[in-house]
Homo-oligomer: A and B are copies of this chain.
Amino acid sequence: MGETYRLNVAGLERDLHVCPLNDHVSIAGFIMFSDVELTVACAAELLKNLPDFDVMLTAESKGIPLAYEMSRQSGKNYYLARKGKKLYMTNPTRVDVKSITTEAVQTLYLDEDDMNALKGKRLLLVDDVISTGESMRALEALAEKAGAKVVCRAAVLAEGDAAQRDDIVFLSPLPLIFR
């Protein structure tokens, strides 16, 4: 199955595929999809480590199961910033974001109803992995436009230099693999 990286997080052990990002750097692919046991455990562990908040905001798509499960366990609503504008959206707000896993500039949209729901709230920004921080900055831009107060930025893993940040909450570091 190729090279793997053994991750320990939230009391569980997983072997992640190592995938080349470019000629010099590989990443260990952390995918929560299909893994309910991991999602439940990470959500519970993150919730133990967070300040008080009212609602959560995450980004499509890898943040969805985590935010959903944290919402189910905490009873606090989650909102989802989408990568594309859908016909069923009304007056969405748009911000731009660059991803290290797709190599392209992406755009996040948040529906008007969701923007209104964030207004004046203590907001938790949450994602599966914080790496370059671009997704978090895009979520932060949406939060600012919505008039929410970001009280915490949280992720299961902090990748590469992000593990040195003192302004985020995370469960485990995830190394970049240099060749």
Contact = CB atoms under 8 A, between A and B. Distances in A.
Contact of A61 (B60, B77, B78, B103): B60
A31 interface: yes
A42 interface: no
Contacts of A29: 86-89
B27 A87 contact: yes
Given A27-B87, A102-B86, A80 B21 contact: no
A57 to B, nearest CB: 10
Contacts of A60: 61
Contacts of A40: 72
Copies of this chain, how many? 2
A84 interface: yes
18 contacts: A1-B113, A17-B90, A17-B113, A21-B87, A27-B88, A29-B88, A33-B79, A33-B80, A34-B77, A34-B114, A34-B117, A36-B68, A36-B71, A36-B78, A60-B61, A61-B82, A65-B68, A87-B102
Interface in A58-102: 60-61, 64-65, 68-69, 71-72, 77-80, 82, 84, 86-90, 101-102
A56 to B, nearest CB: 9
Chain A: interface residue count, which band? Answer: 35 or more
Interface of A: 1-2, 17, 19-21, 27, 29, 31, 33-34, 36, 39-40, 60-61, 64-65, 68-69, 71-72, 77-80, 82, 84, 86-90, 101-103, 113-114, 117
Contacts of A88: 17, 19, 27, 29, 31, 101
